[in-house]
Amino acid sequence: MSGSIVLFGPPGAGKGTQAGRITVLTGKPWVSTGDMLRAAVAAGSELGTEAKGYMDAGLLVPDGIIIGLIVERLQHDDASSGVLLDGYPRTIPQAEALSEVAVVSAVISIEVSDDAIVERIVGRRMDPETGGIYHVSFNPPPPEVSGRLIQREDDNEQTVRNRLSAYHEQTAPLAEWYAQMGLLISINGNASIDEVGMAIEEALSGAL
């Protein structure tokens, strides 16, 4: 597949977990706007400082900031054969901006009910050394990494509810937008990590 692949779905759907597998499968670099923003926050850059307030509140960072970030990232040499986008686009203007600088070949929509999301997110932990994502009950970490795991600041119940509202109001309409272009592939995300991964692999091999 020559273009970019978009991973689409609500927060906690498993986009990051599955992105690790798809990037190995396709060789496309994994581009996560959430990770880029968290790196900017950690570096204390002007952009990070501006983004942090929105992220902590569970709101979307304004399109102007995000579009600039992604357009710059897609100019890097490693993006010339397409990338794996995780967490972008999240609004119609972001999708329009993307279509001007990249070819989107497939949009994988991981569908998970709202009820399951809060439970998933509140138990989610990240490995700051490898980027690995675990869940205290559903995907427990091996003992050697459990001591260094962190919880994202925005992975608390109140913020998750705001992130879900932002998703339903601003991001979900994009599914229809991509469906009309014949690019949307829906995957049932209410299944084990392996089952979801296999369904994505099958869908992508069919789309090749």
Q: Is 163 a catalytic residue?
A: yes
Tokens found for residue 30: 């994994």
Listed residue (68, 62, 121, 120) closest to 91, CA to CA: 62
How do 84-86 and 4-8 pair as beta strands? parallel
Helix, coil or strand: residue 191: coil
- The residue among 37 and 184 lying less far from ligand AMP, judged by its C-beta, is 37
The residue number whose beta carbon is nearest to ligand AMP equals 34
Q: Is 13 annotated as a binding residue?
A: yes
The total of other beta-carbon atoms located within 10 Å of residue 28's CB is: 22
Binding mask 128-167 for ligand AMP (x = CB under 6 A): --------------------------x--------x----
152 labeled part of a ligand binding site = yes
Q: In 3-state terms, what secondary structure has residue 98?
A: helix
Stretch that binds ligand AMP, among 29-37, 127-135, 142-150, 198-206 (CB under 6 A): 29-37
Considering only CA atoms, which of 3, 167, 5, 183 is closest in space to residue 90? 167
| Distance, CA of 179 to CA of 175 (rounded, Å) | 6
Tell me whether residue 59 is annotated as binding.
yes
Q: According to CB under 6 A, which one of 11, 14, 82, 197 is a site residue for ligand AMP?
A: 11
- The residues annotated as belonging to the active site are 15, 90, 124, 152, 163
Interacting residues toward ligand AMP by CB under 6 A? 11, 33-34, 37, 54-55, 58-61, 66, 87-88, 90, 94, 154, 163
